[in-house]
Amino acid sequence: MAIASRSDRAKRGGVIINEHVLTASETRRHVDALGRWFDFIHHDELLDRLARPKARPFCLLTFDDGKRSFATETAPELERLGVPAVIYVATQFLTDRTALWFDRRTAIRRALGYLPPEIEREVLIRLPLASINERLDRACDKYKVTVDMEDDDVGPMSWDEARDLARRGFTIGAHSLRHAVLTCETEASALSDIEQSIAEVSSEIGTPCKSFAFPNGNYTARLARRALEAGANTVMTTDPMWADNSFPPWRLPRVSLNRAYNRGAIELKMSLATGRWLVNPNGTGRLYRKSSHACEAAGAKW
Amino acid sequence: MADNAKQINGERRLKVVALLVGDPQATELWTLKNLAATGCELYVVRALKASGLSTAERLKRLARQHGVVGLVSRLMGSKLIATRQARKELRQLDLLFGGEELRGWWIASGIKPIDATHLNHADARSAIAKLQPDVIVRVTGGVLGRGTFSLARIATLNIHHGVAPRIRGMCSIQWGIIEGRSDWIGSTVHEIDDGIDTGRVLWRGRPQLAPGDTGTTLFFRAHLEAVEQLVRVIREYAAGKTPESWPCEDRERSDYRSAVGLWGWLRYLYLGAGMRAPVIFERAWRVEDENTELNWGRLDGDRVEIRSS
């Protein structure tokens, strides 16, 4: 990690971390590991830090989906530690309070001890949301599986909790309506999903929504452009790399961390992320080691 | 209105005959299931083979069309690569379409296919004529002759997996990948006429081209959307309407490709192999962005200015 922090990328930027659910102690462990090497920043500082890098690399923490556990466990611990964060909420998940598709899939796996091939993750992330739901409805009926929405790691936070978090300094971003893999939808439906989710965050929170994160990390430039047009000024992917000023704001990379990671695993992952060794968790299987980065090839700087 | 037409909620109950060759696979079952869901009277005519030509006649015709080298290339491509590739893609499509559930539906539907020699054979034509279909849908099979496609009272429809008439013929999505033509990748619902994929276009569209896509995932998404539109067209016919023609640019350049030869298949495999595939797709995707003048964001204080490249 010490070598990684002296690399070119580290000198030019930092990391945007993609988390999902963490308990208070897991939050502490992750913040301790990252805090040794990085300055934690607020979302509002991100573009400035990318444009004007400082000696020490930055770290922006982001949490996807808007689960209740963020409000009950993670946020209080982050506040105690003085670490800002962004929460990307799937807006209709908060509104209609029904389980997200991957939590239903997890519930089926827990109940059966295995997953039928037609609902393996590798298959589902290639389907439009309507087909995913149809398949999971059928499987839940067949195996008599229900999802425990009382579990804080499964159920959504309320809009009141989201507003409260925004008042306390956390940034609320949009993460689509119901976590569809947007590149599998028709383009018209994906564009409308992005627009609507950004508008819903703005109207529910009462301040303009400034950031959008692609569910599952799958994106195209046209979709990202729509997020910018709808008012976001940063758009997050799951390209597993350090962020620097070679990335346009519509394609900011995020390194995903698992709740079980210890300090060593986190440092190893941060080191690998400087060299483009990591596989994108969005299912595209991209290895960046040999592929050239689009915006670098296009010579785009801002 | 035909005498045999029934009324359901003010809509005519159309008699639809679906044509296919061999046992239906997941892709065909998906089309049939969605057609059945329109509430039409659905019949299936199944041909045992794709064409009435003998092997020798087919070879002679191919040699005349493509020359001896072209013929050998096609034969080698078909024997060495296409068959294996098709098997692999069938397995993937079976998972994507949910083949197991579809086969369950097929058995439960009780639809008994009427067997025929091939779709242009007299026995197929007589079976179709007896059914007096309002609409014929070619689900799979070779080129339909006028004697077959003219048996429909209203129209004979086809899903072409490619953007017609821009690209016509077989394997259009594969050809789009091989030749780097992302504008060929898509699907078209059209009426069948005497030409190959030249009939009146009722709808055409393109799936999103995203990093990580393969020929199979693009085919899958193109087919999903095309079937949805085919169902819309059938419903419009059932409501007594005539679907409007899809606006295709006048004098649009039209390319025709038949079966992929050995060189084409090798290139397809090279482009789709391992970690190279997403990179190639990303390149195509980037070209598309340049064509549509992707707006790069630029830092301007707290806001991002949208500007044309």
Torsion sign (Cα): A96, A223, B282, B159:
positive
Torsion sign (Cα): B171, B174, B180, B182:
positive
Length, in residues, of chain B: 309
Interface of A with B in 80-109 (CB under 8 A): none
- CB contact set of B125 (below 8 Å; sequence gap of 6+): B147, B148, B151
Residue B54 distance to chain A (closest CA, Å): 40
Kindly report the CATH class assigned to A3-97+153-298.
Answer: alpha beta
Per-residue pLDDT, averaged over B242-270, amounts to: 85
Asked if A249 lies within 8 A of B208 by C-beta distance, the reply is: no
Helix H or strand E segment including B103: helix B99-109
Residue A19 sits at φ, ψ, to 5 deg, of: -120, 170
From B193, B6, B197, B303, select the one nearest A234 (Cα to Cα). Answer: B303
**Amino acid in the structure at residue A1:** M
pLDDT in tens, chain A (302 residues): 665 665 665 557 899 999 999 999 999 999 999 999 999 999 999 999 998 888 899 999 999 999 999 999 999 999 999 999 999 999 999 999 999 999 999 999 999 999 999 999 999 999 999 999 999 999 999 999 999 999 999 999 999 999 999 999 999 999 999 999 999 999 999 999 999 999 999 999 999 999 999 999 998 888 998 999 999 999 999 989 999 888 888 889 999 999 999 999 999 999 988 876 788 888 776 544 334 444 333 333 22
- Tally of CB atoms within 10 A around B7: 10
Q: Select the residue of A221, A286, A298 nearest B278 (Cβ to Cβ).
A: A286
Cα–Cα distance for residue pair B307/B309, rounded to 1 Å: 6
Q: Work out the angle between the directed axes of helices A221-229 and B276-291 (0-180°, nearest 10).
A: 50
Residue A91 distance to chain B (closest CA, Å): 23
Interface of A with B in 240-279 (CB under 8 A): 248-250
Q: Mutate one of A233, A235, A236, A244 to test the B interface: name it (highest B CB count within 10 A).
A: A233
Residue B274 distance to chain A (closest CA, Å): 9
Helix H or strand E segment including B190: strand B187-191
Interface check for B222 against chain A (CB to CB < 8 A): the answer is no
User: Could you tell me the pTM of the whole model?
Assistant: 0.88
Interface check for A215 against chain B (CB to CB < 8 A): the answer is no
Phi-psi region of B294 (alpha: psi -120 to 50; beta: other; left: phi over 0): beta
Interface of B with A in 63-102 (CB under 8 A): 95-96, 98, 100-101
Please, is A122 exposed, middle or buried when counting C-beta atoms within 10 Å of its C-beta (0-12, 13-18, 19+)? exposed
Q: Are A286 and A280 in contact (CB under 8 A)?
A: yes
Q: Mutate one of A47, A137, A287, A292 to test the B interface: name it (highest B CB count within 10 A).
A: A47
Domain-wise residue ranges, chain A: 3-97+153-298, 99-148
Residue with tokens 């440092």: A267
Distance in angstroms between the alpha carbons of the first and the last residue of chain A: 28
DSSP E strand stretches across A195-263: 211-213, 234-236, 255-256
Structure tokens belonging to residue B174: 């594969």
- The SS3 assignment for B122 reads helix
DSSP E strand stretches across A136-289: 171-174, 211-213, 234-236, 255-256
Interface check for B220 against chain A (CB to CB < 8 A): the answer is yes
CA max distance for chain A: 57
B8, β-bridge pairs = B11
Interface of A with B in 40-79 (CB under 8 A): 44, 47-48, 50-51
For the domain B2-306, what is the CATH code? 3.40.50.170
Q: Which residues of A touch B297 (CB under 8 A)?
A: 228, 233, 248-250, 302
- CB contact set of A158 (below 8 Å; sequence gap of 6+): A68, A94
pLDDT, residue A1, reads: 62
Nearest chain B Cα to A123, which residue? Answer: B96
Q: Which residue has the higher pLDDT, A281 or B145?
A: B145
Distance in angstroms between the alpha carbons of the first and the last residue of chain B: 56
Q: Which residues of B touch A183 (CB under 8 A)?
A: 208, 210, 213
Average pLDDT, rounded, for chain B: 84
Interface of B with A in 246-275 (CB under 8 A): 275
Helix H or strand E segment including B188: strand B187-191
> What's the number of CA atoms in the CB half-sphere (13 Å) around residue B64?
6
Asked if A218 lies within 8 A of B303 by C-beta distance, the reply is: no
What Cα–Cα distance (Å) separates residue B97 from each residue in A67, A119, B4?
A: 31, 11, 34
Pairing of strands A58-65, A14-19: parallel
Q: Of all residues in chain A, what percent are helix, strand and coil, respectively (each to 5)?
A: 45, 15, 40
Q: Which residue has the higher pLDDT, A275 or B147?
A: B147
- CB contact set of A221 (below 8 Å; sequence gap of 6+): A250, A251, B285, B286, B289, B294
Q: Are B168 and B256 in contact (CB under 8 A)?
A: yes
Interface check for A187 against chain B (CB to CB < 8 A): the answer is yes
Structure tokens belonging to residue A11: 């000198």
Asked if A118 lies within 8 A of B207 by C-beta distance, the reply is: no
